């Protein structure tokens, strides 16, 4: 694994977890599960065990550099890349690959893992990564597909095809990807689950840096030119790197890696999928976070934070985040999300957890950037 480096793009805000997650304090900086480590710390712990602590590169927004460094004090200065404006996972991973290729050569394996996911089963995770690296060495863009345990409408899906075990002997579980599928409706998700051929798309990608950069040169020349020029500047002083980022990054298209790379390459038969048979969640909304924490006093009321700050009577199925520090009291209410922060209180039906983003969009339209 000496040729493998992890890139952690940490740029999302997590708007479905508003008002906990904000632009200046996104969800990956929180210990949402009460485990003593934030999501980004847990991600770093997990991937550094596989690739090595000195083989991690993190791409994040400029205003998150200080809290990231505070939470990950062992990261050297050159291992943190600051974006002046967010450009989604496609450009972030591409930039990481370009920098690593410039530092270590085009054959470097780049393994990208989101900063805000929860994974249970480190050995199974490590095995899946090792197989993905083997597929990447063979020229594929490899992804890790998660076993779908329920017909979720919150995740994208991967349709698997034939085995690649003969083509990539060191990745016996690898399968060709036929296509990626957007988040489906409930009936479609149920149909996917019944076939046994669909897995959740966890957004984990592993590839050789030169494979990715060659594709970008062909398909997205503006992005290719930007990341290669910034990577060249990164070999100089911090000022030269910052100047290149300021000049080039705002002109880069904002696009997810799935759309920019994985989906079009899957249509060319160049994407491999490794089954990831470990516990996984992207903690994308309050419902998914609640599924990972114990109930208050053994009941069905879930508390994100200090359980002593919540009093529940004749209430069930509620999710409460008492982030303001004061006591939240529930009486005769079921299946609500109650998030109490110093400057905003949100109350919503638990069944509409995925729609919290609409509140964020509404606040933005009203010019309430102070709450975002």
In this predicted structure, what is the pLDDT of residue 174?
97
Residue 141 pLDDT: 97
Cα 218 from Cα 221, distance rounded (Å): 6
pLDDT band at 183 (very low <50, low <70, confident <90, very high): confident
Q: Could you write out the DSSP letters of every residue in 224-271? A: HHHHHHHHHHTTS-HHHHHHHHHHHGGGS----HIIIIIHHHHTTT-E
User: How many Å apart are CA 93 and CA 101, to the nearest integer?
Assistant: 12
User: What's the confidence (pLDDT) of residue 224?
Assistant: 97
Spatial separation of the C-alpha atoms in residues 9 and 11, rounded to whole Å: 6
User: And the tokens for 109?
Assistant: 């394996």
- The residues pairing with 58 across neighbouring beta strands, listed in sequence order, are 8, 80
Residue 1 has pLDDT above 90, yes or no: no
Helix, coil or strand: residue 5: strand
Residue 326 reports pLDDT greater than 80: yes
Q: Is the pLDDT of residue 12 over 80?
A: no
pLDDT band of residue 154 (cuts 50, 70, 90) is confident
Question: Average pLDDT, stretch 106-130?
Answer: 95
pLDDT of residue 65 exceeding 90, the answer is: yes
* Per-residue confidence (pLDDT) for residue 149, from 0 to 100: 86
Q: Which residue, among 96, 105, 111, 106, has the nearest Cα to 234 in the 3D structure?
A: 96
Nearest one of 146, 191, 186, 182 to 281, comparing CA atoms = 146
The stretch 211-233 carries a mean pLDDT of 97
Question: Hey, CA dihedral for 146, 88, 269, 134, is it positive or negative?
Answer: negative
% of residues, the chain, pLDDT over 70: 100
Domain boundary assignment for the chain: 4-284, 293-371
Domain at 4-284: CATH code? 3.90.550.10
Q: Is the pLDDT of residue 2 over 90?
A: no
User: Is the confidence at residue 89, as pLDDT, over 90?
Assistant: yes
- Alpha carbon 321 to its chain centroid, in Å, reads 22
d(CA 79, CA 81): 7
By C-alpha distance, which of 159, 164, 174 is closest to 127? 174
pLDDT digits (tens, 9 = 90+) for 290-321: 989 989 888 899 999 999 999 999 999 999 99
Relative orientation angle of helices 238-248 and 221-233, to the nearest 10 degrees: 160
Q: At 252, phi and psi to the nearest 5?
A: -80, 140
This prediction's pTM: 0.92
Distance, in Å, from the CA atom of 298 to the CA atom of 329, rounded to the nearest integer, reads 17
> Residues for the chain: how many in total?
372
Q: Is the peptide bond before 19 cis (omega within 30 degrees of 0)?
A: yes
Positive or negative, the CA dihedral 123, 125, 128, 134 is: negative
* pLDDT at position 52: 95
pLDDT score for 91:
97
The owner of tokens 């708007």 is 15
Sequence-ordered list of residues with C-beta below 8 angstroms from that of 344, at least 6 positions apart, any chain: 18, 19, 371
Return the HEC string of 124-181.
Answer: HHHHHHHHHHHHHHCCCEEEEEEECCCCCCCCCEEEEEEECCCCCCCCCCCEEEEEEE
Question: In which element (H, E) is residue 359 found?
Answer: helix 356-365
Place of tokens 């990447």: 136
pLDDT of 298 reads 82
pLDDT tier for residue 284 given thresholds of 50, 70 and 90? confident
Residue 162 has a pLDDT of: 94
* Residue range 31-42, pLDDT digits in tens: 988 889 999 999
């Amino acid at each position: 694994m000496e040729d493998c480096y992890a890139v952690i793009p940490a740029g999302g805000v997590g708007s479905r977890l508003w008002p906990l997650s904000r632009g200046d304090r996104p969800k990956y900086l929180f210990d949402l599960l009460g485990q003593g480590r934030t999501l980004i710390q847990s991600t770093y712990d997990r991937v550094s065990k596989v690739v090595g602590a000195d083989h991690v590169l993190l791409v994040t927004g400029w205003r998150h550099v200080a809290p990231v460094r505070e939470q990950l004090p062992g990261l050297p200065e050159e291992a943190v890349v600051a974006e002046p404006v967010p450009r989604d996972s496609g450009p972030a991973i591409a930039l990481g690959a370009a920098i690593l290729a410039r530092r270590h050569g085009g054959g470097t394996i780049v393994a990208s893992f989101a900063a805000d996911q929860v994974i249970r089963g480190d050995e199974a995770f490590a095995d899946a990564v090792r197989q993905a690296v083997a597929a990447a060495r063979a020229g594929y863009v490899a992804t890790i597909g998660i076993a779908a345990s329920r017909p979720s409408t919150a995740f994208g899906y991967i349709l698997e095809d034939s085995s690649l075990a003969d083509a990539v002997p060191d990745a016996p579980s690898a399968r060709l990807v036929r296509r990626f599928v957007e988040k489906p409706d409930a009936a479609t998700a149920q149909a996917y689950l019944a076939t046994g051929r669909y897995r959740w798309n966890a957004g984990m990608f592993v590839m050789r840096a030169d494979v990715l950069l060659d594709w970008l040169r062909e398909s997205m020349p503006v992005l290719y030119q930007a990341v290669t020029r910034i990577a060249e500047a990164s070999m100089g002083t911090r000022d030269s790197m910052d100047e290149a980022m300021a000049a080039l990054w705002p002109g880069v298209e904002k696009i997810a890696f799935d759309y920019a790379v994985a989906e079009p390459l899957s249509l060319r038969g160049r994407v491999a999928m490794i089954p990831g048979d470990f516990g996984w969640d992207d903690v994308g909304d309050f419902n998914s976070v609640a599924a990972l924490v114990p109930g208050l006093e053994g009941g069905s009321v879930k508390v994100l934070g200090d359980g002593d700050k919540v009093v529940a009577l004749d209430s069930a199925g509620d999710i409460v985040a008492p982030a303001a520090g004061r006591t939240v009291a529930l009486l005769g209410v079921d299946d609500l999300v109650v998030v109490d922060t110093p400057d905003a209180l949100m109350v919503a039906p638990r069944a509409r957890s995925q729609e919290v983003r609409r509140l964020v969009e509404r606040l933005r339209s009203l010019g309430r950037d102070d709450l975002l």
